[in-house]
Amino acid sequence: MSHVKLDEIELIKVVRENDTGPIKESRSITSAKISGTRNIVAHKIPGMEGGIVQDLGRDLRRMEFEGVISGPEAKNIVQTLWEKFYAGEPVSFESDIAGTADINLVVIEDLQISKVEGRAETYNYYLKLREYIPPPEPEEEEPEAEDEEASEETEEEAEKARDSYNKLVGRVVDDEGNPVSNVKVIARGEEAEYNAITDENGEYVIENLEPGEYEV
């Protein structure tokens, strides 16, 4: 006996009252059709016979089942099928029918139900399913090296700016604009006085100044 299961519903099943007793519940598939197509594009070469064939991959497979559901649970099974159809969400699928064994998820495209006249708790059904393949998850983008370098440069500039808040930098030159070295520079403030010696380029740096105004 073949095996076909749509979510938790087994479409092929026989339940007897006992091993040899009458059938209490029956679910069967009377017709099964599996179809699939490939996207083939033929490119003609001007001035030549034949052409180039390009395979763009296959379409999602379709499955069509016709069958009968009967028994005390038939009405509930039919109702569950309608609920899954209206939800429009992918449902799990299992089958050992040729061409479907590797299909794990499907969407119900079409569902038709008819009650069998003269037979209690018996329904005919038509199911059209389409294979469903989840889309790939988006890849996490790694930060670009340029962005990291720019961030490091910004941090370095910020540190330099913070350091310059309590620092006095200057240059001493003579009347002709030449740097003067070994000159003592004094910065006087209201509450403190600082001094430094110019280097060979006439430059001086006074650090750790208290906030305020200074005269050099």
- Reference 128, options 98, 166, 84; nearest CA is 84
Do 198 and 101 sit in the same domain of this protein?
Answer: no
Q: Which domain does 93 fall in, by range?
A: 4-38+51-131
Do 93 and 27 sit in the same domain of this protein?
Answer: yes
Confidence grade of residue 34 (pLDDT, cut at 50, 70, 90)? very high
Confidence grade of residue 22 (pLDDT, cut at 50, 70, 90)? confident
- Reference 23, options 79, 77, 76, 69; nearest CA is 69
pLDDT score, position 166: 67
Do 169 and 121 sit in the same domain of this protein?
Answer: no
Q: Which of 75, 106, 131 is the last residue of a domain?
A: 131
Which CATH number covers residue 18? 3.30.70
Looking at the domain assignment, is residue 82 inside a domain? yes
Looking at the domain assignment, is residue 150 inside a domain? no
Highest mean pLDDT among 9-18, 60-69, 144-153, 181-190: 60-69
Looking at the domain assignment, is residue 105 inside a domain? yes
Whether 51 contacts 11, CB under 8 Å: no
147-187 confidence digits (pLDDT tens): 666 667 777 766 665 555 567 777 777 777 788 888 787 77
Q: Which of 76, 106, 131 is the last residue of a domain?
A: 131
Among 11-20, 113-122, 129-138, 204-213, the minimum mean pLDDT is found in 204-213
Indicate if the pLDDT at residue 99 is higher than 70.
Answer: yes
Phi/psi of residue 157, nearest 5 degrees: -65, -35
d(CA 188, CA 191): 8
Mean pLDDT of 69-80: 95
Do 100 and 204 sit in the same domain of this protein?
Answer: no
pLDDT score, position 178: 80
Whether 121 contacts 69, CB under 8 Å: no
Do 125 and 176 sit in the same domain of this protein?
Answer: no
Do 15 and 89 sit in the same domain of this protein?
Answer: yes
Confidence grade of residue 1 (pLDDT, cut at 50, 70, 90)? low
Do 106 and 210 sit in the same domain of this protein?
Answer: no
With residue 151 as reference, give the H or E element that holds it: helix 145-164
* Higher pLDDT pick, 99 / 125: 125
Provide the domain count of the chain.
Answer: 2
Q: Which of 107, 131, 155 is the last residue of a domain?
A: 131
pLDDT score, position 187: 72
Confidence grade of residue 67 (pLDDT, cut at 50, 70, 90)? very high
With residue 155 as reference, give the H or E element that holds it: helix 145-164
Do 9 and 64 sit in the same domain of this protein?
Answer: yes
